[in-house]
Amino acid sequence: MKRGLVVGRYWSTRKVDSLPQGALLEVEFPDGSRLIAVDPLGCNEGESVLVAEGSVASHFFGEPFVVVDAVIVGSLDDKSA
């Protein structure tokens, strides 16, 4: 998985049916690269999250098939906690 920060939020009204509805979060990683991930947890901008990529991201949603290759799987605990 990759560790990154939620930096933005996108919507797609004109989309294929198998892309889930709702906000898509943009996550920035420490190397400056970014991904757009589906967020089943309700994360906020500035939150530190874990992103899983590839076919497991689609498998996570089970049936019916969703065309997703990146999903937020956890919010990271504060290190000082």
Q: Please report, as ranges, the residues that interact with a copy of itself according to CB under 8 A.
A: 1-3, 10-16, 18-19, 24, 26, 30-37, 40-41, 50, 52-60, 65, 67-71, 73-77
Residue 77 beta carbon to a copy of itself: minimum distance, rounded to whole angstroms: 4
Containing H/E element for 43? none
Tell me how far apart the alpha carbons of residues 54 and 59 are, in angstroms, rounded to a whole number: 9
Residue 7 beta carbon to a copy of itself: minimum distance, rounded to whole angstroms: 12
* Cα Dmax for the chain: 42
Tell me how far apart the alpha carbons of residues 5 and 18 are, in angstroms, rounded to a whole number: 26
Residue 45 beta carbon to a copy of itself: minimum distance, rounded to whole angstroms: 14
